[in-house]
Amino acid sequence: MQRVSIVGGGASGFAAAVTIARAGGFSVTIYERLQKPLKKLLATGNGRCNLTNMQANTAHYCGDARFAEAVLSRFPPQSTRSFFRSMGLCTKEEDAGRVYPLSGQASSVRDVLLEEARRLSVQIVTDCEITEVRAQEKGFLLNQTYFCDILVLSAGGSAAPQHGTDGGAFRLCKQLGIPVVPPVPALTALVCKRFPKNLKGVRCDCIVTLCTREKTLAECEGEVQFTEYGLSGIPIFSLSRRASESTQPVFVRVNCVPALSASALLDFLHTAVRKTPEKSSGVLAEGLLPRALGDYLLLQSGIRKDTPVGALPEARLRSFAGIVQAFTVEVERPRGFDFAQVTAGGADCRAFSPQTMRANDYENLYACGEALNVDGDCGGYNLQWAWSSGRAAGEAIIKRQKEQRRKACAADSGVEDPA
């Protein structure tokens, strides 16, 4: 029986373990450095686990997106849902293709994986950090103690170390001579320079544009959260990877009223001036924005709240309209790995085959999940990558074993192998 060691008891490690163990003929062990496996899964989707996205395609992935496409096309979101259904978990699709467990609880996703692993006699060794891996003539020796024929690296990235992922996978890669694309935080908030602290707590639907002084880098829409240090929320998370990569100063331009065109916004302000000239200028912001944000933007455009609307010069009105739709702040830095949901960078996919997830330079070494240089947008894309790549590694291990058995049988019987 071939011994398979899976380093990292997270999403991709369990997907690989369950896939392999279902085939039979393997002894599968997961090594997990924390006290319990699948800890991160409980925190996903705000405790609801956004486990895939029906719109998952290359456009939603960065890093080695072509590598990701080759894997995702064989294990698409529908097959993730079927995989979970086969373990007894129903899922439902919500807005923008996001899929959640029907129970609405991430713990259901963890529980079905644990139960299936238990049913299939997968060994789970917890409190066990693998810090050393040595390639042997056949197989691998872990921590100078555990031997295996086949090794699957599924130890995640560097994001969210509180959930067990502190870059250990990359240290193991380096020991094996596998190149690592420098990891940077992705899907994280942005710390901004001279950010007004009194905006803390404001939430508002915006279009946010990330740009340098010369060009636009990316644009996203959704609910932005204003914090004491800068900007957060899903659209900001989506910009953060590009901010991490930029070597030049970057800025976020916030359109705080994307529902109105520039001319419709000016019309709204002119109407207020015409119809209620005696009202104080505060009304201009009240009809458009959350109070703290409105007050701040009025001030920034040189308008005192108590000035009657009718007394405002046209230039002031235009300046207010301009800042409402292009409030710009300079990014100091993305928040670090402690606050990031995912890692951009990681084990260089060029050292692996997208068909098998197997390393080019090792007979029996596989990698999957966030440890590889693939990262997705917010919205279920990263877990989809973890399930797809874990299952791809699992299927490849099974297929290879079958081939080896067939060859061995052919050799024993003296019949020429038809393959």
Ligand X SMILES: Cc1cc2nc3c(=O)[nH]c(=O)nc-3n(C[C@H](O)[C@H](O)[C@H](O)COP(=O)(O)OP(=O)(O)OC[C@H]3O[C@@H](n4cnc5c(N)ncnc54)[C@H](O)[C@@H]3O)c2cc1C
Give the total of residues touching ligand X (CB under 6 A).
40
Biggest alpha carbon–alpha carbon distance for the chain:
101
Residue 10 as a binder of ligand X (CB under 6 A): the answer is yes
Our CA angle for 50, 54, 59, nearest 5°, is 100
Sites for ligand X among residues 344-363 (CB under 6 A): none
Stretch that binds ligand X, among 25-33, 178-186, 291-299, 346-354 (CB under 6 A): 25-33
Q: Between 10 and 294, whose beta carbon lies closer to ligand X?
A: 10
Stretch that binds ligand X, among 150-158, 219-227, 252-260, 296-304 (CB under 6 A): 150-158
Q: Between 17 and 206, whose beta carbon lies closer to ligand X?
A: 17
Whole-angstrom distance, CA of residue 419 vs CA of residue 406: 9
Stretch that binds ligand X, among 18-26, 40-48, 145-153, 399-407 (CB under 6 A): 40-48
Whole-angstrom distance, CA of residue 37 vs CA of residue 191: 32
DSSP letters, 146-184, are: EEESEEEE----SS-GGGT-SSHHHHHHHHTT--EEEEE
Options 4, 5, 6, 7; binder of ligand X; rule CB under 6 A: 7
The binding track of 110-129 with respect to ligand X, each residue x by CB under 6 A or -, is: -------------------x
The binding track of 385-404 with respect to ligand X, each residue x by CB under 6 A or -, is: -x------------------
Residue 101 as a binder of ligand X (CB under 6 A): the answer is no
**Residue type at 55 in one-letter notation:** Q
Q: Between 341 and 373, whose beta carbon lies closer to ligand X?
A: 341
Q: Closest separation between CB of residue 86 and ligand X, Å? A: 19
- For strands 150-153 and 203-211, give the pairing: unpaired
Whole-angstrom distance, CA of residue 166 vs CA of residue 160: 8
Q: Closest separation between CB of residue 368 and ligand X, Å? A: 7
Options 11, 62, 208, 323; binder of ligand X; rule CB under 6 A: 11
**Collapsing DSSP states into helix, strand and coil, what is residue 123?**
strand
Please, is 346 exposed, middle or buried when counting C-beta atoms within 10 Å of its C-beta (0-12, 13-18, 19+)? buried
CB burial readout 5-37, b (16+ within 10 A) else e: bbbbbbbbbbbbbbbbbebeebbbbbbbbbeeb
Q: What share of the chain is helix, strand, coil (3-state, %, to 5)?
A: 40, 25, 35
Options 5, 80, 108, 154; binder of ligand X; rule CB under 6 A: 154
Could you tell me if 219 and 207 are in contact, meaning their C-beta atoms sit under 8 angstroms apart? yes
Q: Closest separation between CB of residue 62 and ligand X, Å? A: 13
Sites for ligand X among residues 307-326 (CB under 6 A): none
Residue 284 as a binder of ligand X (CB under 6 A): the answer is no
Binding site for ligand X (CB under 6 A): 7-13, 31-34, 39-40, 43-45, 49-50, 129-130, 154-156, 159-160, 163-165, 168-169, 341-342, 369-371, 380-383, 386
